Amino acid sequence: MNVLIVYAHHEESSFNAALKDVAIDTFKKLGHTVTVSDLYAEEFQPVGDERDFTHQLKKDSFHYRKEQQHAYKNNTFAADIIREQQRVIKSGVIIFQCPMWCFSVPAIVKGWFDRVLTKDFAYGKDMEYKTGGLNQKTALLVMTTGGPERIYKKNGKHGSMNRILYPITRGMLAYCGFKVLDPFIAYEVENISAQERQQYLTRYAKKLKRLFPAGF
């Protein structure tokens, strides 16, 4: 099985980096192939604009979604979009690894969604949810938080984590056809002990082994 990790963190000594490395090691030991889209290291451009296209459909006006349709049909996307779409095509599982910022993903990950999961590639006419363009693929969201788990409960200060992540898990991933797995969340990683961080890494490895065993 081919796995794509869409990874977004500036610091290679971060806990997000540790989670990413555990995933790579676990998948390789299970016989899977892993590709990492390291968005910051690769200087991925998160802003969708005219630079996304090597040929523009209309010169006098700009309609981003129509330009995406034209580019997908005519293979006129910018090189980084083509690269990321090819990585998605070749992968059966896509993991999105990043910290939670403002109840969502960092802007660079949202930009990846906007620019890579394009109309007619991931969604479009008669292409949504079960018939979405990526309906043969599985998505897993792996995130870290600054706050403790108790504040992300149904009756907690922020409300349930599933509700918070719904615009991502449903509005972005499921809408494009992904089979969306329950997210893996590591809470309050800046304030917990080294032992507790190791427990998270161990739990994450076990989850991956259970979900994607050798021969998956």
Q: Which residue has 């779409």 as its token pair?
A: 85
| Cα–Cα distance for residue pair 49/94, rounded to 1 Å | 25
Q: Look up 158 and say whether it is catalytic.
A: yes
| Cα–Cα distance for residue pair 179/136, rounded to 1 Å | 8
| Active-site entry in 10, 63, 146, 166 | 146
| Cα–Cα distance for residue pair 63/61, rounded to 1 Å | 7
- Within 10 angstroms of residue 84's Cβ, the number of other Cβ atoms is 21
Q: Look up 146 and say whether it is catalytic.
A: yes
| Cα–Cα distance for residue pair 151/172, rounded to 1 Å | 24
| Cα–Cα distance for residue pair 17/6, rounded to 1 Å | 12
| Active-site entry in 40, 64, 147, 158 | 158
Which residues fall within 8 angstroms of residue 189, CB to CB, at 6 or more apart? 15, 144, 145, 146, 197, 200
Q: Which residue has 């980096």 as its token pair?
A: 17
Residues shown for the chain: 216
| Active-site entry in 72, 123, 152, 187 | 152
Catalytic residues: 146, 152, 158
